[in-house]
Structures are given as C-alpha cells and as structure tokens.
Amino acid sequence: MNREAGWQLVTEYVKDAGLRRHMLSVEAAMRFYARKMGEDEERWGLIGLIHDFDWEIHPDLTQHPMDGAPILRARGADEEIIRVIFSHYTGGTGVEREKPIDFALLACDEITGLIVATALVRPDKNIRSVEVKSIQKKWKTPAFAAGVNRAHVEEVTADFSRACFGGGLQLWDHAGNVLEAMKGIAAELGLDGGAQT
C-alpha cells in the first residue's frame, strides 16, 4: 500500500471533513518525526494517514480499529502496518507499543485536535499564525477542545519521549513539532485563512 492507495481508502471511507483533517494532521506529524529520527517517512506518513480510516463505519472502541483490519488486508496493507495501527488502542487490541513508530503514532494522535481547535478560533483561521504559547494558553482551559484528554496527551508524550528521546522530548517541544508539521500542509488542512470547512 502506498500513499495514493491510502488516500483513496480515506476518501472512500471518511466523509467528515474534520476527521479527514485529523488524519492528514497525524500524517504530517508522523512524517516530521520519521525525518527527525531517520525512519521511513513514506511508511510513517501512510500509517498516520490511515490509522482512523474505519472510524465512521466502526464508530466505537469495541470495533475500531480491529474491524478495519480485513479492509486494510484486502487493500494490500501488510501485517506490520496493521500491528502499528492496533498499537494505538492497546486497550481494545491487546497490542502493546514496542517500536518507535508505535509511540510516535499515539503521541501524534490526540494532540492534533488541540492544535486544530486553536487554529479554528483565530479570526484568520490560519494555522501558520498559531504559536505554541497560544496552544499552552488553551490547554489550561479544560472546556476548550474538551474532547482532548490532557492527561492522556501528557502520558503518551512522556512515553514517546522515554522510548525514543531518552526522556528529552518535553510536551511543549512536541506540540511545537506537530504544529510545525501541520503548518507545512496548512492549505490541505483548510487552515490557511482561505475558504473554511
């Protein structure tokens, strides 16, 4: 499975613009970390792109991501791609995070929601004008982007930091990295100050 096939999968199964934006955001963040860590950028990006492809057809954690696996296999995804996707929900799949890509996927997943929400409340709705200090300020208001579990974000970022950076990656450095990655695809995310979705 390549990026083109991955995007075709997303457009077929994901109709919600917000969910597509999320998946593109995670793809960008995963590509950023693959470059930073000398890993396979295409593979890391693909996994970020497709990790939630089945959420609209399996919209609860008794099915997602497990019931998406047969579709992925039919589309040519290898078992390692499926294993990594399963590792982003260990509670349901029983697949523990073991490899750098596993820790990166979970660490990049939920934090993108806070960043998108921060961009969307700006008058210009342009992610390029968002700074980390804006995200930090919004973080302190639990009612803002209330669906983002702050404790979970802290926990998975700390796990990623320990597993891949010797404990040297702090939460706000991570947020800045993900923000930078997302700024690089601002137009694709619909967060470049143009027409909004």
Q: What is the 3-state secondary structure (H, E, C) of the chain?
A: CCHHHHHHHHHHHCCCHHHHHHHHHHHHHHHHHHHHHCCCHHHHHHHHHHCCCCCCCCCCCCCCCHHHHHHHHHCCCCHHHHHHHHHCCHHHHCCCCCCHHHHHHHHHHCHHHHHHHHHHCCCCCEHHHCCHHHHHHHHCCCCCCCCCCHHHHHHHHHHHHHHHHCCCCCHHHHHHHHHHHHHCCHHHHCCECCCCC
Residue 48 included in any domain:
yes
Each residue of 90-111: pLDDT tens digit? 988 999 999 999 999 999 999 9
Residue 61 included in any domain:
yes
Q: What is the pLDDT of residue 195?
A: 52
Each residue of 166-177: pLDDT tens digit? 999 999 999 999
User: How much is the pTM?
Assistant: 0.95
**What domain count does the chain have?**
1
Residue 197 included in any domain:
no
